[in-house]
Chain A
Amino acid sequence: MIAFHNVSKHYNDQKVLEDISFKIAPGELVSIVGRSGAGKSTIIRLLIGEEKPAKGRIIFGPHEVNRMLPSELPALRRKVGIVFQDFKLLPTKTAHENVAFALEVEGRSQPEIEELVPQMLDLVGLADKGHLFPHELSGGMKQRVAIARAMIHRPSVIIADEPTGNLDSYNADEIVKLLLKINELGTTLILATHSRDIVNKVKRRVITLDDGRIIKDDPHGDYIL
């Protein structure tokens, strides 16, 4: 269970989120939509403890994220898979090593890593690209590697922040299909996006943000902005 209770966030005097409350049940797919600057990325940063709220409570499973110590946050982040618009792959590691890194930080054994990583790369259609570095991959391939990295440790929640923002329409479709498949397998999926196409294609719960406030929370909604 993920829950935001009356959460507000300010940067200096500028209000970014104002009294936000919502709950996400396990296995749910939720799109958080809104224009640039509406507060979508801030919700994600608050959820993984990158930022502290000015007020309110953020619940993530058994944890109250806003009260967690910096030393406790890595363990929380290891329970989540995050996919970013700009992929955030480690540039000096190959695709295989980028995916393996998520298991290495968990302390998984080398034989286990050698078994799981090729399987995951195969699942995202990059079985033969594991030896390539990020600069040798296309945008779509990079995002697949990022998804493989987010998925490899079987997290209960995947957060995708504008996952198709840097992709052409074909690759964007492929990535959305992949994310939907992941959700169908029982993983909670939080999709922050301003893409009308994606939201309307997914046809699942939509939380619409405008100027830091939730203006609509529709269980089978369309992009209304």
Chain B
Amino acid sequence: MIPMATTFFRIIKFGFQNFARNGLLSATTVAILVMTLLVFNGLLMFGVISKSAIASLEDKIDISVYFSAGATEDQILSLEKALESLPEVKSADYISQDKALAIFKDRHKEDEAIAQALNELQANPLLASLNIKAQSPSQYQTIAGYLDSENLKGIIDNVTYGENRVVIDRLARIVDTLRGAGWLTTLLFAAVAILVTFNTIRLAIYSNREELGIMRLVGASNKFINGPYLVTGVIYGVLGGMISLTLAAPAIVLASPYVSIFIPEVSLANYLLVHLPQLIFYHLAVGVTLGSVSAMVAVRRYLKI
């Protein structure tokens, strides 16, 4: 019976030996893995930017319901409650006549003509309203349909959806397209990167295929032959992950202010800082998985296990 611990330590030792003694091959493989992980980084950042851009775009869309002068606050608040219970509605904010006036005054406080005109008016000319945001842009039509019901016609003066419908629909289409294109791009690049890495590691092991055969003839078990290549694959992954993050982090910090110019809501540097532990984990996990799985598949193929 072969002692397990002895075999385990020998497998680890041979894995490191494989890595060190195939210097150029190891360096090339790690370089390819680093490039693959940099592509993943790019995709991750693209995802962060596009998600924030889409969220920012969605946040700019809303519809307002203006109530007729005869509508009581109770009626409005009850409609607000009813709207908030709809699954399509993300939020519904009540703006009373007084609040609307205060906002208006604040917005035009430097315009004396408007201030003077307001003072001359005896009554508040502004209407109470509800500002409604949907969960997604495509749901505004459903909400507008709900507001169009007969029993609400007495208290509603105007709904802005009709006026903004074209813009909202177009934005909804842009958001959907961006989401779909983002996923497609990510999948495409990820598939290419995985294939390139897999083939590189496969070629690295292909160059050692004779060695695999010799080990088998000397009486090495499959575990004893596979194990070191698995360890080498893990070393490729760990090194690839660490190097790629070391290269990507400064690039992300440098790019951050430029991205913020176009999308002020996005701070890549802040994202990096907050998510650093997860990013380290993802890099190592993707690197080690790619390295070890590729090595295993390749060894099994050349060993015909």
Contact = CB atoms under 8 A, between A and B. Distances in A.
A150 to B, nearest CB: 9
A139 to B, nearest CB: 17
B28 interface: no
Given A89-B214, A90-B211, A104 B10 contact: yes
Given A92-B18, A92-B22, A92-B211, A107 B2 contact: yes
Interface in A80-125: 80, 82, 88-93, 101-102, 104-107, 109
Interface string A32-69: 00000000000000001010000000000000000000
Contacts of A89: 214
A77 interface: yes
Given A92-B17, A92-B18, A106 B214 contact: no
Contacts of A92: 17-18, 21-22, 211
B19 to A, nearest CB: 10
Contacts of B213: 88
B277 interface: no
A106 B217 contact: no
A166 to B, nearest CB: 16
Most chain B CB within 10 A, of A80, A91, A102, A105, is at A105
B221 interface: yes
Contact of A107 (B6, B214, B216): B6
Contact of B218 (A71, A75, A91, A102): A102
B3 interface: yes
A77 B221 CA distance: 10
Contacts of B216: 74, 77
Nearest to B9: A110
- How many residues of B sit at the interface, in one of the four size bands? 20 to 34
Given A90-B211, A92-B17, A92-B21, A107 B217 contact: no
B214 A74 contact: no
Nearest to B221: A74
A78 interface: yes
A149 interface: yes
B2 A106 contact: yes
B217 A105 contact: no
Contacts of A101: 215, 218, 220
B154 interface: no
Given A92-B18, A92-B211, A102 B219 contact: yes
17 contacts: A71-B221, A74-B219, A74-B221, A74-B222, A74-B224, A75-B219, A76-B219, A77-B216, A78-B219, A88-B213, A88-B214, A88-B217, A92-B17, A92-B22, A93-B17, A105-B215, A106-B2
Given A88-B213, A92-B18, A105-B221, 5 more contacts: A71-B222, A74-B224, A77-B216, A88-B214, A93-B17
